[in-house]
Chain A
């Protein structure tokens, strides 16, 4: 147990090389998040456009 804790601490301290960048596979819940993000951005842009055209912003 003690050794396990110790090795976990060392693992936490161990340095990592610069990460290699590969395109992430967007699927499952990540895909849902991206669609949520797109919808949010479009909704906000529409609200901003309405606000500007009505002169309420």
Chain B
């Protein structure tokens, strides 16, 4: 009884870290720009394919390509932002959300179909020489690759936190989240802050995609479900706290696998949505968010 349950909770925790990482990117972009980029999952998918092809064609280790994948997505982020999002900066918050939803859905369809065309619908994954390695603790298996992914997700998160707290640019970003008009009056060029947060979000999606491709599997249609997980986690964790968002990811991962264990796997996907509704009804500021002041 203990081992299978613990095992499934551990797997939940490990996948939850990736939910968290995906959601942090989404939440960063939304928090600063109020752009709800529903193509975030597709960016993650592109990150996954980038490391998959680097590994398959060149044999480069996915953990080594991770920074490159992030840079690659950063560049894609710049292009997408300039092309599709930049002109929406001046809109009201509500109009921004609506417009970006539309643009994001369109973009996600395009990216999915381009991926389908270029790389077929096959499910892919990276199998390295150490992919099957795991260590066992109290009878519970910890696959090395997924544990490393958890570590990397944590490092990315701490780096982000440090950036936001310690650097002038990071503070400018937080100021823009609180009040963009007051931020402008500080002499902060909020257009640049918007661009920066958007591309940082894209880079985080790239990192998450890379980790998904090595610990799990990727396919052209994966984006939508990752965006959905990201949205659920974002609401679960609450806006404004990236650590909270990350923990929210782990909560979702663990809840999903507990559901899979006690009920059946079919209910796994449903539980996230149930959680989503419960949080919205009983704690709309999220598990770790603060109420509007």
Question: Are A and B associated in one complex?
Answer: no
Give A contacts to B, CB under 8 Å. none
Give B contacts to A, CB under 8 Å. none
